Amino acid sequence: MNILITGSNGQLGNEMRVLSVSHSRHTYFFTDVEELDITSSDAVSSFVQSNAIDLIVNCAAYTNVDKAEEDEATAMKINGEALAVLGSQGVRVIHISTDYVFSGDEHVPCRETDPVAPRTAYGRTKYEGEKNLLAVCPEAVILRTAWLYSSFGNNFVKTMIRLGKEKEQLGVVFDQIGTPTYAADLAQAIFTVIESSVWRPGIYHFTNEGVCSWYDFTIAIHSLAGITKCHVFPISSEEYVYKTPRPHYSVLDKSKFKKTFGVEIPYWLDGLKRCMLAISELAS
Ligand SMILES: NC(=O)c1ccc[n+]([C@@H]2O[C@H](COP(=O)([O-])OP(=O)(O)OC[C@H]3O[C@@H](n4cnc5c(N)ncnc54)[C@H](OP(=O)(O)O)[C@@H]3O)[C@@H](O)[C@H]2O)c1
**157-198 pLDDT per residue, tens:** 999 999 999 999 999 999 999 999 999 999 999 999 999 999
Q: What distance in angstroms lies between residue 79's CA and the mean position of ligand 1's atoms?
A: 9
Residue 240 corresponds to which amino acid? Y
From 100, 122, 127, 204, the catalytic residue: 122
CB of 43 within 6 A of ligand 1: the answer is: no
> Which ligand 1 atom lies nearest to the CA of residue 37?
32
Kindly state if the Cβ of 33 falls inside 6 Å of ligand 1: yes
DSSP E strands: which ranges in 68-180? 92-98, 141-145, 148-149, 169-173, 177-178
pLDDT at position 42 over 80: yes
Asked if 122 is an active-site residue, the reply is yes
The answer to whether 112 and 205 are in contact (CB under 8 A) is yes
Superfamily of domain 2-150+181-210+250-267: NAD(P)-binding Rossmann-like Domain (3.40.50.720)
For range 248-277, the mean pLDDT: 98
* CA 68 to ligand 1 center in whole angstroms: 13
- Give me the count of residues in the chain: 284
Give the pLDDT confidence of 207-260 residue by residue, as tens digits. 999 999 999 999 999 999 999 999 999 999 989 888 898 899 999 999 999 999
Quote the CA–CA distance of 283 and 126 in Å, as a whole number. 33
Best residue among 29, 33, 208 to mutate for probing ligand 1's pocket (most ligand atoms within 8 Å of CB) is 33
Question: Which stretches of 41-120 are DSSP H helices?
Answer: 41-50, 65-70, 72-75, 82-87
Nearest in space to 186 (alpha carbons), one of 208, 217, 154: 208
What's the confidence (pLDDT) of residue 218?
98
For 6, the enclosing helix (H) or strand (E) is strand 2-6
Predicted TM-score (pTM) of this structure: 0.98
Ligand 1 nearest atom to the CA of residue 40, by list position: 31
Helix pair 268-283, 183-195: axis angle to 10 deg: 110
Q: Quick one: pLDDT at residue 224?
A: 97
pLDDT at 70: 96
